[in-house]
Amino acid sequence: MISIAIVEDNEKERRFIRSCLEEIAKQEGISLHVEEFPSGTAFLGNYQPFYDIVLMDIEMPIMNGMETARMLRKIDEAVLLLFVTNMSQYAVQGYDVDALDFIVKPINPYSFAIKLKRALARTVKQADDVIPIYTEGEMHMVKASAIRYLEVSGHYVIYHTTTGVYSEYSTLKNVEKKINKPHFVRCNRCYLVNLRYVTAIKKELVYLGKEELLISRPQKKLFLESYVEYLGGRTNV
């Protein structure tokens, strides 16, 4: 499943882009999850970095696409960004926000398909591990990048993910080995945090959006060092 965000203030343009995406998905035999946003502010509000591709209009009121992209890059450097615009003068600025490509309006479906397939190929190369989660009588396959944090509750490990909450009879140590990612770090003995979702660290608390988790004194130094290192390298999940 490839997740794509369309950020476009014109509803007619959003519908057309979605129809192009649906046609490409049918041709390529892939599944797409597409979400639409009418403005940069709507897109960035409560943003969670689980999109694979963002299609961004540049000419939008209040906050244009370039401004939105600059703010996006502060919280997500991994997502693939394609601008949709009739303003070619922004092409040079696109390098500043690591834009993969520009799609010129009015959109030509053939040209659009070529550029999107290029982005999809890049997404496949960057695809992260899929983690099996064994709940009672079921197995769920979840991307490592979709896991926000893990929580110990008795003899169970609770997976807090972007797609839901799952409970598995296991230990945090065993799940830690299964995920085996350097940017999953313990903030205390009960929580393993995906640093990609950390929005703030204040005193003894780490924030993942509106949620807050306690950082224990023994783990604080390593957690802070890991987060600083992550910000410097910004590893793809």
Give the Cα separation of 184 and 192 in Å (integer): 6
- Looking up tokens 């924030």 gives 207
**Is the domain of 89 the same as that of 141?**
no
Cα atoms in the 13 Å half-sphere on the side-chain side of 103: 27
Give the residue from 77, 98, 125 where a domain finishes: 125
**Is the domain of 182 the same as that of 208?**
yes
Single pTM value for the model: 0.57
Nearest Cα to 123, choosing from 33, 195, 185, 183? 33
**Is the domain of 169 the same as that of 153?**
yes
Q: For residue 194, what pLDDT band results from cuts at 50, 70 and 90? A: very high
Give the residue from 125, 150, 165 where a domain finishes: 125
**Is the domain of 25 the same as that of 101?**
yes
**And the tokens for 109?**
């479906």
Give the residue from 125, 141, 166 where a domain finishes: 125
Q: Residues of the chain with pLDDT > 70: what percent?
A: 91
Give the Cα separation of 48 and 109 in Å (integer): 29
Question: What is the predicted pLDDT for the residue at 138?
Answer: 84
**Is the domain of 135 the same as that of 117?**
no
- Looking up tokens 């205390």 gives 188
User: Which residues neighbour 19 within 8 Å (Cβ) at sequence distance 6 or greater?
Assistant: none
- Looking up tokens 């910004």 gives 234
How many domains, in total, are found in the chain?
Answer: 2
Question: What is the predicted pLDDT for the residue at 94?
Answer: 58
In angstroms, the first-to-last Cα distance of the chain is 15
Over residues 47-83, the pLDDT tens digits come to 877 788 999 999 898 899 999 999 998 888 778 999 9
Give the Cα separation of 38 and 11 in Å (integer): 7
Over residues 120-157, the pLDDT tens digits come to 887 765 555 778 899 987 888 888 888 999 999 999 99
- On the question of pLDDT at 234 being above 90, the answer is no
Domain extent for 54: 2-125
Q: For residue 36, what pLDDT band results from cuts at 50, 70 and 90? A: very high
Question: What's the one-letter identity of residue 211?
Answer: E
**Is the domain of 160 the same as that of 74?**
no
Question: What is the predicted pLDDT for the residue at 233?
Answer: 53
